[in-house]
Amino acid sequence: MPPPLRRRLTVAACLAWAVAGCSPGATLVSAGEAPAVTPENTSTPGLYLQRLHATYLRPGDCLLELPRDLIATLVSCEMPHAAEYAFIYVLPEGPWPGEAAAMRRAVDWCGPRLRVKASRRQEVRAGALLPLEREWPAQRTAYCLAVPRGGELVGRVLK
pLDDT for residue 47 is more than 70: no
pLDDT tens-digit map of 7-25: 444 444 443 444 344 333 3
- CA distances (Å), origin 26, targets 17, 37, 157: 10, 12, 33
Q: Which residues contact 65 (CB under 8 A, 6 or more apart)?
A: 73, 82
High-pLDDT (> 70) share of the chain, %: 70
pLDDT band of 49, cuts 50, 70, 90: confident
pTM, two decimals, is 0.72
